[in-house]
Amino acid sequence: MDTIQSIYLSFDGKAKEAMEYYQSILGGTLRLQTYGEVMGEKDIQYKDRIIHAYLEHSKILIIARDAHPKYNILAEAPETTHARIASPDETMLSYYFTKLSKGGRVDMPLSRQVWGDAYGMLTDKFGVPWIINIFATEVPTYREKTHVA
């Protein structure tokens, strides 16, 4: 798969810690900018918070930032939002699943599904829900149903 998988995350003061954690698992290059550096923020509560964080690794890009009420940037995400990483590389994605779930919880164990892919869900120690999808190298045969009107 040649597409870049991009994830955008919001945190309430934990963006730097979370992104360094993700870098320790995924590898890659991490770039961070604070509200103080970019926006000239003087408030001690917000000046060291992250306004732009970029973690680039292979075909994965994770972008994150911390909440800031002055700029109407909030940390809440809808309950239907998940970060997702998908690839046919079973070894790599199994490793990511194991590492990301440490200190968090496994919501659905990583296992082979009826459609052929291995699929699992977890919530990491920062409260970010993840979907890990290992593409099947062989797709199961389906019986076709024909509808006659």
Domain locations along the chain? 1-70, 82-140
The dotted CATH code for 82-140 is 3.10.180.10
The answer to whether residues 57 and 28 touch, using CB atoms and an 8 Å cutoff, is yes
Picking from 108, 102, 85, the residue whose alpha carbon sits closest to that of residue 24 is 102
The pLDDT of residue 1: 43
Q: Which two tokens stand for residue 1?
A: 């798969």
Instruction: Give the SS3 label for residue 129.
Output: strand
More confident residue, 4 or 45: 45
Picking from 20, 22, 14, the residue whose alpha carbon sits closest to that of residue 66 is 14
The pLDDT of residue 137: 74
Is the pLDDT reported for residue 139 higher than 80? no
Integer angstrom CA distances of residue 32 from 60, 76, 87, 97, 143: 17, 21, 27, 25, 51
Q: Given 3.40.640.10, 3.40.390.10, 3.10.180.10, 3.90.960.10, which CATH number is that of 1-70? A: 3.10.180.10
The pLDDT of residue 104: 97
Separation between Cα atoms, residue 34 and residue 66, nearest integer Å: 9
